[in-house]
Structure 1
Amino acid sequence: MDVRSISTADLDGVYRLLLNNGWAHRIGGVAQLAQLVSASQRVVVALVDNELVGFARAITDGISNGYISMVVVAEPFRRQGIGQALVDAIIGSDKTITWVLRAGRDGAAEFFKKLGFTESSIAMERPRLDPLR
Structure 2
Amino acid sequence: MQIRSAAASDADAIHRLLSANGWAHRIADAAYLGQLISASQQAVVALSADGEIVGFARAIGDGISNGYLSMVVVAEPLRRQGIGQALVRHILGSDTDITWVLRAGRPGAAEFFARLGFSPSSAAMERPREQRLRMAP
Q: TM-score, normalised by structure 2?
A: 0.95
Pairing 1:7–2:7 present: yes
Pairing 1:34–2:49 present: no
Q: CA deviation at 1:24?
A: 0.3
Equivalent positions of 1:24-63 (< 5 A) are: 24-49=24-49, 50-63=51-64
Between the aligned partners of 1:98 and 1:127, the Cα distance in structure 2 is: 21
Is the partner of 1:87 in helix, strand or coil?
helix
Higher relative contact order structure (alpha carbons within 8 Å, sequence separation ≥ 6)? 2
Equivalent positions of 1:97-116 (< 5 A) are: 97-116=98-117
Matching residue of 1:87: 88
Is the partner of 1:18 in helix, strand or coil?
helix
Q: CA deviation at 1:131?
A: 3.0
**Where does structure 2 lack aligned partners over 5 or more consecutive residues?**
none
Matching residue of 1:118: 119
Q: CA deviation at 1:88?
A: 0.7
In the TM superposition, structure 1's runs of 4+ consecutive aligned residues that sit over 3 Å from their partners are none
Between the aligned partners of 2:108 and 2:90, the Cα distance in structure 1 is: 20
Q: CA RMSD in A?
A: 1.0
Q: TM-score, normalised by structure 1?
A: 0.98
**One-letter amino acid matched to 2:44:** V
Between the aligned partners of 2:81 and 2:22, the Cα distance in structure 1 is: 19
**Where does structure 1 lack aligned partners over 5 or more consecutive residues?**
none
1:67-118, Cα deviation, whole Å (9 max, x unpaired):
0000000001100000000001111000000000000001100000000100
Equivalent positions of 1:69-80 (< 5 A) are: 69-80=70-81
